[in-house]
Amino acid sequence: MDSNASARNERGSEDERAVSPVIGVVLMVAVTVVLSAVIAGFVMEMGDGMEDSLEATGAASFDFDADEGTMIVSIVSEGNADEWEIVGDIDEGAANEIDGAGETVTLHCGDDDDDEALGSGGTVSVTASIDGGSSTVIGSGEYDCSDTDGD
């Protein structure tokens, strides 16, 4: 038997050998396109949910002076928030809105008058929100008016 004839039988004819690599390349391209589409769809869907979960940021400072019976609340950084509110253990009639960075509100220890804001003790926090959305606490401060001169 001729050695060339044996080599031709193992590899097949020229037409038969060309089909397998072409099919392999087409299948690899198809798999790559399908995987790319699935991954792109997943990433796009993940990005859409990010807008809904965006939380307000910012920073607030709290300075309680027991001798004076006052707490000064300040917005240090507005972050991405549009609105800020003072919440916590304060009387109903207390001023609770603050306008933005650099603004301060002074809360006083008192005897439950309408213009006195702080109770006997507790926590005051500042919440921030974006376009009236959900609120995020950006800072908190504690106070104790039980031993103050302002009482």
Mean pLDDT by 10 residues, the chain (151 residues): 54 63 90 94 70 75 88 87 86 73 84 64 88 83 76 43
Model pLDDT, residue 22: 84
Architecture of the structural domain at 59-144? Sandwich (2.60)
Which strands sit side by side in the sheet containing 104-108, from one edge to the other?
Answer: 59-65, 70-77, 104-108
| CA dist., res. 126 & res. 137, Å (int) | 6
Pair of tokens at residue 136: 């995020």
Q: What's the pTM? A: 0.59
**62: how many CB neighbours lie within 10 A of its CB?**
19
